[in-house]
Amino acid sequence: MSKQVLYTHGAPPPGRPPLSAIIEQWLNPHQHRDACSTGGAADAMRPVVRQLLDDPVLFQDLLLVKRRGHKEFPWHQDFGFWPVDRPDGIVLWIPLDESDAESGALRFAIGSHRLGARPVVDLHDGQPQSADAELGFSPGAFPIFAPAYRAGDAVAFSPLTFHSSPPRLRDGERIAWSCVFLSATVRWQHARAPNHPVCRRTVDGAKIQERRDG
Ligand SMILES: O=C(O)CCC(=O)C(=O)O
């Protein structure tokens, strides 16, 4: 399980709780070789993604478990957390359980991708990770899309779309699987998020490639 929010350029500020204060997250289960691998699920989504993106490359996937007591997962764009040069891709979010506002379903600020890349957020407080940065986003300025999902529904969105999930008000848990496909023309750009684990095993400036070595 991931221990902490990704602080893209430095150590967590003092006193930050673990990531499990807002969600339980597992990074890249598609890279497992055993029965719990999500690699087959990612492959099954590829034809769908090809309708939206030429030549998709699987960049990463996440299992996301939200329980009662987890705080709001604040509004953010995903692109700022990634060490890549362009936001050319598609994020899929797929709840494995029925999910609505009371159970912590993902919601979106429609049209917010048009803001372009905004500063990366500290997921514990929704503020920019860099103290002198201005987020330049307010959810009140956009129509909000907050669907009630059936188990297995999929929603696709831009890496620049601001999204969040409210606290879970019900007992039990909401499990979701999320995967990110990027265009094969995207390149690693480590300086954008040097603390992302993928920087330790990729060549800065090279075209992104998939990796399935467990
Ligand atoms: O699944 C959730 O509640 C939030 C996940 C999310 O926004 C993300 O992984 O970027």
Q: What residue's CA is closest to ligand 1, atom 6?
A: 164
Mean pLDDT for 24-34 is 93
- Return the domain boundaries, the chain: 19-201
Q: Which CATH architecture has domain 19-201?
A: Sandwich (2.60)
**Whole-number pLDDT of residue 213:** 61
Q: What is the pLDDT of residues 123-170, one digit of tens each?
A: 999 999 999 999 999 999 999 999 999 999 999 999 999 999 999 999
Distance 72 CA to ligand 1 centre (A): 10
Band of pLDDT at residue 35, cut at 50, 70 and 90? confident
**Whole-number pLDDT of residue 36:** 86
**Whole-number pLDDT of residue 33:** 86
pLDDT over 70 (residue 118): yes
Sheet holding 89-95, edge to edge: 24-27, 56-67, 173-183, 89-95, 155-157
pTM over 0.75: yes
Distance 165 CA to ligand 1 centre (A): 7
- Ligand 1, atom nearest to 165 Cα: 3
Q: Is 176 in the pocket of ligand 1 (CB under 6 A)?
A: yes
Q: What is the pLDDT of residues 75-85, one digit of tens each?
A: 999 999 999 99
Distance 47 CA to ligand 1 centre (A): 23
> How do the residues of the chain divide into helix, strand and coil, expressed in percent and rounded to 5?
20, 30, 55
